[in-house]
Structure 1
Amino acid sequence: MIKLGSLTYQQLKEKFRIKSPWDLIIIFVLNILITIPIFIIAHHNFITLDWAHHVDRVLLFLVILIAIQFILRAMRRVTLISVILYLIFLLFGTLSGKYNFKTVFEDYRSMMYTMSEDPYPQDIIITKLLPFPNKSKILDAVEYQNPKIRNFSIMAIDKHFKDVKGYHDYFTIIQSFAIFKEINSRWNYVSDPKGHDYIAKATESLQYLSGDCDDHSVFMAACIKSIGGTTRLIHTKGHIYPELLIGNKKDLEHINYAIKKVLFQTESKGKPINYHIDERGNIWLNLDYTAKYPGGPFMNEEILGALTLD
């Protein structure tokens, strides 16, 4: 008989054993705690089948739940040790700033909200890129290094969403939304001279916050680029508008929740988040002057080209 101090192995095992029905209750609670983060990781890495009512994700959750349940039932004699190890793991993650209790909650909250309030994807499929109109003039007009553009951007950031908490990993995107809010709430549409395509420099548009769609796109792109964001301009048959790089599917879940439940609740109430997915799987939100919130509706014109300002 193996002894540990004055206790035999059998006596030690009995001390860690939890009697019924508490062992079943603890196993169920522990199963939920383990299943949720595993499901989040699987959700972000497994291919989405786009079944109705997210049945594929429901089945994925149930498979993980049942598998974990079998494992925990097989380990029921060391359930208490499993609970302690799990709590130590999350406590270590909390102290080290990595995956922790708060992260699990935020990931799960954003994922579940996105599953119930789907963003509206539109894939960009461009078989033949056309030359972007006035490309050199537009690039020259995006004066993101001009101090006046930088100062306007900082003013907007100081004015909007400065006190928003919980989005440290997305602070540049949140600041870009502040710039979007300031520009789109003040922008006055003014047409170009008849028969001429006038491209205003960002500093020109700054003076009166006025101009047509390409002037708005240039100014928006310059301001966001001045604070480290990544934008691109989309060219359609009769329109140009800016888009903001969000990231991947997991990033979209967090940003979708932020827009609809934190930053633009009134403007986006009951409306979908519209975005494009490029050939690399990157997600871009619409920032057109016609939109009242990031990801507002597109003008639904055929896309002829894209100019990324990275």
Structure 2
Amino acid sequence: MINNKKFSFQNIKQKLQVNKPWDDVIIFVLNILIAVPVFIIAHQNLIELNWFFNIDRILLFLLIIIIIQLILRLLRTVIIVCIILYLLLLFYGTASGNYGFNSVYEDYDSMIYTMSDNPYPQDIIIAKLLPFPNKSKILSAIEYQNPKVRNFAIMATSKNFKNIKGYSDYRTIIQCFAVFKEINSRWNYVSDPKDTDYIASASESLNYFSGDCDDHSILMAAAVRAIGGTPRLIHTKGHIYPEILIGSLNDLETVNYLIKNVLFINESYKKQLHYHIDERGQVWLNLDYTAKYPGGPFMFEEILGALRLD
């Protein structure tokens, strides 16, 4: 009886084995497929040590690669089981609303998209891999549920563009543009204290409408989200600025008309809109403090990081 069980186990084991050199190829592919999402999850949830040249994140990625490689080599005789387990984990992540098939697809689609020719900087995978400066402090400072921030945003919508008719589908975007107009017409750029990166909360910035680029971005993102808009923050070399999600290219046509012919006629006269298109085809419009109208010129083009709030 024992021999029969042993024989049966050996048969199953042989069926699960993959012949050389294909086992090494599968292990390599699986390692890459598993390592990238595992690193993204670890990177977004582990505390950033802020080591020089992001060495802490480089070491983390190498450690993940090595550990996964060792595990897969130990299990190389049942590599098919590893594939099944990987798929089951993705099914679980999809069902539970965490990292699943859609997330994996978007990350790898982003890699391919990055390699293609496109005139606009994109929300590429490097934005997920590189640490966003002061990420935890900035997220805490974007107080979109603070009554003071919400009340300010409501005041801005009552003061600006309140009587615009005929664009009910774009009401939220028009109201966010009202917030943009109110903040940017009052914003006073003031540098941080020397040798200190001071992060002001949204409610704090409402006192004097003053601060540097990250303070402006925090206030803009908080106020926009407080009334239903979808903002994100873009990190470039030495600068951070806010953007707002417009929608598709068809939506951009309508928004372009609104800005140039209804809302910001003088400010945008004979000028173009500046925006980014991400790998999902979504359009993000520039709301920087230097812009006189939504979609004003960028100070810097190259995207080093993107911080979304949803």
- Partner SS, residue 254 of structure 1: helix
Alignment correspondent of 2:126: 128
Q: 1:122 to 1:200 in 2, by over 3 A?
A: same
Deviations 1:245-288 (A, max 9, x none): 00001110100000000000000001001100011110000000
Q: Which residue does 1:213 correspond to in 2? A: 213
In structure 1, C-alpha distance between the alignment counterparts of 2:237 and 2:166, rounded to whole Å: 40
Counterpart of 2:275 in structure 1 is: 275
Mapped partners of 1:176, 1:122: distance in 2: 23
In 2, are the aligned partners of 1:143 and 1:149 still within 8 Å (CA)?
A: yes
Q: Distance in 2 between matches of 1:189 and 1:290?
A: 10
The 2-side partners of 1:184 and 1:257 are apart by 21
Tell me the distance in 2 between the aligned counterparts of 1:269 and 1:147. 36
For 1:234 and 1:199, the matched residues in 2 are separated by: 16
Contact 2:121–2:302 under 8 Å retained in 1? no
- The code of the aligned residue for 2:274 comes to N
1:122, CA displacement in angstroms?
Answer: 2.2
Output the CA distance in 2 between the equivalents of 1:272 and 1:136: 34
Q: Distance in 2 between matches of 1:125 and 1:278?
A: 5
Q: CA deviation at 1:127?
A: 5.3
What is the CA distance between 1:233 and its match in structure 2?
0.1
Corresponding residue of 1:109: none
1:238 maps to what in 2? 238
TM-score with structure 2 setting the length: 0.60
Give, in angstroms, the shift of residue 300 of structure 1: 2.6
Q: State the Cα deviation string for residues 59-83 of structure 1 (Å, max 9, x = none).
A: xxxxxxxxxxxxxxxxxxxxxxxxx
Corresponding residue for 1:115? none
Query: Per-residue deviation at 1:302?
Result: 2.0
Secondary structure of 1:266's partner? Answer: coil
8 Å CA contact 2:236–2:300 kept in 1: the answer is no
SS, match of residue 206 in structure 2: helix
The residue type paired with residue 244 of structure 1 is I
C-alpha distance in structure 1 between counterparts of 2:202 and 2:189, whole Å: 15
Change (3 A) 1:301 1:203: same
Q: 1:128 offset after TM fit, Å?
A: 2.4
2:124 partner amino acid = I
Q: CA deviation at 1:166?
A: 1.2
The equivalent residue for 1:308 is 308
- How far apart are the structure 2 equivalents of 1:123 and 1:187? 27
**2:267 aligned counterpart, secondary structure:** helix
Runs of at least 5 residues in structure 2 that lack an aligned partner in the other structure: 1-118
Mapping for residues 146-161 of structure 1, pairs under 5 Å: 146-161=146-161
Q: Deviations over 1:102-123 (max 9, x none)?
A: xxxxxxxxxxxxxxxxxxx724
**How many residues matched?**
191
What is the match of residue 222 of structure 2? 222
SS in 2 for 1:288: coil
Q: 1:201–1:125: structure 2 CA closer, same or farther, 3 Å change rule? A: closer
Structure 2 Cα separation of the partners of residues 171 and 127 of structure 1: 32
**Conserved 8 A contact 1:232-1:242:** yes
Q: CA–CA distance in 1 between the matches of 2:234 and 2:300?
A: 12
Question: Structure 2: how far apart are the matches of 1:287 and 1:248?
Answer: 18
Q: C-alpha displacement at 1:125, in angstroms? A: 6.0
TM-score (norm 1): 0.60
| Superposition deviation, residue 303 in structure 1 | 1.1
> What's the counterpart of residue 196 of structure 2?
196
Q: Percent of pairs identical after alignment? A: 73
Q: Distance in 2 between matches of 1:125 and 1:223?
A: 22
Question: Greater Rg, structure 1 or structure 2?
Answer: 1
Runs of 4+ in 1 over 3 A off after TM superposition: none
Contact 2:124 2:279 in 1 (8 A): no
CA distance in 1, matches of 2:253, 2:303: 25
Q: Distance in 2 between matches of 1:125 and 1:224?
A: 20
In structure 2, the partner of 1:5 is: none
1:1-310 equivalences in 2 (<5 Å):
122-124=120-122, 126=124, 128-129=126-127, 130-310=130-310
Instruction: State the one-letter code of the partner of 2:289.
Output: Y
